[in-house]
Amino acid sequence: MDPIEFFFNFYLGRELGVCGELLYNGFNSLENNSPIIRDEDYLTYANESYAFSFLINTSVAFERLEKIILLFLINQESPDKIASFLNIKMKSNFSDDDVFKNNIFEYVDDMSAFPKPEFNRLMDHHNLNIVAYINQLKSKTIELNTDEKHLLNILDTFYDSFRYGRFHPKDFSARGYAHDTELLNDLLTHWEQNGEPVSSDKEHNLYVLGRCINKLAKKYYDIIKKFAEKMNIFTYELHDDSNAQTVFLNINDSLHDIFVQKRITREELLYNLAYNQIKELASDEIPDKLPIEFDIIEDFLLYGDDNYFSDSVNETLDIALAEDDDDYEPYSNKEKIITREKLIHGLLLMFSKTKK
């Protein structure tokens, strides 16, 4: 593996994982906090740090993904520029042994940098600028739909104008200190259902926002994977059971589905532990508890979350529902899961009230 391949495989491979973690953490900021509904057109969060965390993490993640794609594209079109960027050049003389060991590059101190347009985009923080330049180098490398353009435009507006807005305010109105929550509101109320805006339904808004982010993240990941495969390297490989793997290899439609599964994990665990007491209290028949694998629960208990344990609980739930219903289709029939979880949620609340 020569230095260029090493750079794309290991350095940018780790960068890809960082991007996935940023996307996960950004969306997690919205999922695990309650919104404040101010009026029929406004849905946002009382604590502005949630909006800021989502916007900064998501903006930086997509920017860095775009720069990975840009570097791959530059290398494909002009590998000498990447060699220049890495301060290496082909040796003027090398032996057969050097070729065998991939020792055909040498490091140098005085190499030219990227041309100004490429340098500017690599230093740019505007997603749409970077995407436009990528498509200028190679047409239709990244094709964005209307919702994806809207998302990136909101992220660019935040990063350009409001990242440090509270340090240097230009607006002293009642909402002047909360432009990040205004931008988040724009995203959360952007989506429509049956032609009508849905602004008060947190679940729906997070689902459609998560669907847009999920689709764009997978689009970028697939582009990076294709570039890597052409170089016969493995930039696209992700740490097992990492949040990045959960994001980029998400089999569901939306990032929101990931966090619904996390919620199911928590409630199924609590239900399992309190099952006998709930059964004594309940007047009607209640759902059976899941056979949870407690021997893999340690990381979940230590860190409050564990993708391996969460996957195990949700797969067990799929199997249990499939056994109860011959027509059940695992991973696609969400209605039965939602019905069960609403019932379990209510039973847990009933149980909690008896302990006051």
Q: Is the pLDDT of residue 226 over 90?
A: yes
> Residue 313, CB half-sphere, CA atoms under 13 Å: how many?
28
Predicted local distance difference test score (pLDDT) of residue 111: 47
Strands (E), the chain: 35-39, 42-45, 88-90, 105-107, 192-193, 196-197
* Neighbour-count burial of 113, counting CB atoms closer than 10 A to its CB (0-12 exposed, 13-18 middle, 19+ buried): exposed
For the stretch 281-327, pLDDT in tens is 887 889 999 999 999 999 998 888 889 999 999 999 988 887 766 66
Q: Is the pLDDT of residue 331 over 70?
A: no
Q: Is the pLDDT of residue 11 over 60?
A: yes
Distances, alpha carbon 302 to alpha carbons 243, 273, 297, 316, in Å: 17, 18, 9, 22
Q: Is the pLDDT of residue 91 over 60?
A: yes
Percent of the chain residues topping a pLDDT of 90? 48
For the stretch 158-167, pLDDT in tens is 988 777 767 7
In the chain, count H helices and then E strands: 15, 6
Mean pLDDT in the chain? 84
Neighbours of 63 (CB within 10 A): 21
Nearest C-alpha neighbor of 181 from the set 90, 37, 353, 50: 50
User: What mean pLDDT comes out for the span 83-88?
Assistant: 77
Predicted local distance difference test score (pLDDT) of residue 59: 96
User: What mean pLDDT comes out for the span 22-33?
Assistant: 91
For the stretch 249-283, pLDDT in tens is 998 889 999 999 999 999 999 999 999 999 988 87
For the stretch 100-122, pLDDT in tens is 566 666 766 544 667 788 888 88
Helix (H, G, I), strand (E, B) or coil at 181: helix
Look up the pTM and report it: 0.86
Measured CA to CA, the distance from residue 105 to residue 83 in angstroms comes to 9
User: What mean pLDDT comes out for the span 86-109?
Assistant: 66
